[in-house]
């Protein structure tokens, strides 16, 4: 389990010495080449991709990275390359062997790419991105407004924090203050006095704040630093039939192969042929 020191000159939280730790979690045992799944438990409470892979049963050991869960302990806006460095240290400490497949799902794709870059000096790395998304500042604002609606703020004018664009930490702190005030107002409207019920809502807010912190880190990620990946690094990208083809961010053009599945976007993570192909994939083009 690794703590981190922030590496970027962009204003992020310095969490060295805090309770924040980034740890790789064992998901399923096995004796084949390990698979590292960079995903998260959905807010919808649906099973994560790593859980679904484990349910299929595999000879490959599966390890998980859930940065959102780690950020719940101490929500902070952390430089994504620094976060990847911390996870890579933990992989080297806990995952034996000289080969590894790194799977990045949805908004976990940027972190997975940075982890792959950090591991490339120690492992033969293959990277598989599943329905990858690359958060932007607009993504963070959109999720923030969705959370406000979840708190019962129906008719509020959009709060965009345009004066804080380019300041990830400042914008996150401002959004967190608004969401905390929204929660207190919602609890007041509902006349919530029961401590258990209040704790349940506060736990939900902690999850929201951790998700916003993770998206904020992704939106500020310096993708040019992915030059650490070997020039011949192979990236495979799995998408559903209706997903866009433009799935890699501008300026990052590694060799990659597409796997397109004839299912809906929401159905891909439950599609048995996809799960089995992901578990059996060893990096061949």
Domain residue spans in the chain? 25-134+221-280, 137-219
Q: Quick check: 24 and 95 in contact, CB under 8 A?
A: yes
Strands 235-240 and 62-65: unpaired
Q: Which residue has the higher pLDDT, 42 or 215?
A: 215
106-120 pLDDT, tens digit per residue, is 999 999 999 999 999
Helix (H, G, I), strand (E, B) or coil at 235: strand
| pLDDT surpasses 60 at 62 | yes
| Mean predicted lDDT score pLDDT of the chain | 82
Strands (E), 14-106: 25-28, 35-38, 62-65, 99-105
Q: Are 29 and 15 in contact (CB under 8 A)?
A: no
pLDDT confidence tier of residue 18, bands split at 50, 70 and 90: low
Asked if residue 123 lies in contact with residue 232, where contact means CB atoms within 8 angstroms, the answer is no
DSSP state of 2: B
Summarised one tens digit per residue, pLDDT across range 176-191 is: 998 998 888 888 888 8
Query: Of 4-18, 195-209, 227-241, which one has max mean pLDDT?
Result: 195-209
Statement: residue 20 has pLDDT above 50? yes
- Residue pair 222/105 in contact (Cβ under 8 Å)? The answer is no
Most confident of 64-68, 182-186, 219-223: 64-68
What pTM was computed for the model? 0.87
Q: What are residue 252's phi and psi, to 5 degrees?
A: -115, 110
CATH superfamily assigned to domain 25-134+221-280: Alpha/Beta hydrolase fold, catalytic domain (3.40.50.1820)
pLDDT for position 64 = 94
């Amino acid at each position: 389990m690794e703590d981190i020191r922030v590496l970027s000159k962009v204003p992020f939280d310095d969490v060295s010495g805090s309770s924040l730790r980034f740890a790789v979690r064992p998901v399923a045992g096995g004796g084949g080449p390990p698979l590292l799944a960079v995903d998260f438990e959905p807010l919808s409470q649906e099973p994560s991709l790593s859980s679904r892979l484990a349910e299929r049963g595999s000879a490959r050991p599966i390890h998980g990275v859930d940065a959102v869960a780690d950020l719940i302990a101490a929500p902070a806006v952390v430089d994504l390359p620094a976060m990847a460095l911390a996870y890579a240290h933990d992989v080297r400490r806990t995952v034996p062997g000289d080969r590894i497949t790194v799977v990045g799902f949805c908004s976990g794709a940027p972190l997975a790419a940075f982890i792959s870059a950090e591991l490339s000096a120690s492992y033969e790395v293959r990277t598989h991105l599943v329905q990858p998304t690359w958060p932007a500042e607009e993504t963070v604002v959109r999720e923030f407004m969705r959370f406000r609606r979840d708190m019962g703020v129906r008719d509020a004018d959009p709060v965009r924090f345009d004066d804080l664009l380019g300041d990830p930490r400042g914008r996150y702190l401002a959004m967190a203050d608004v969401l905390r005030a929204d929660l207190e107002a919602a609890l007041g409207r509902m006349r919530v006095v029961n401590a258990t019920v209040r704790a349940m809502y506060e736990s939900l807010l902690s999850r929201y704040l951790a998700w916003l912190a993770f998206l904020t880190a992704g939106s500020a990620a310096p993708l040019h630093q992915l030059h650490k990946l070997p020039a011949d690094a192979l990236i495979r990208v799995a998408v559903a039939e209706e997903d866009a083809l433009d799935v890699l961010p501008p300026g990052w053009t590694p060799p990659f192969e597409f796997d397109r599945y004839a299912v809906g976007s929401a159905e891909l993570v439950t599609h048995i042929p996809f799960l089995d192909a992901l578990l059996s994939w060893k990096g061949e083009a």
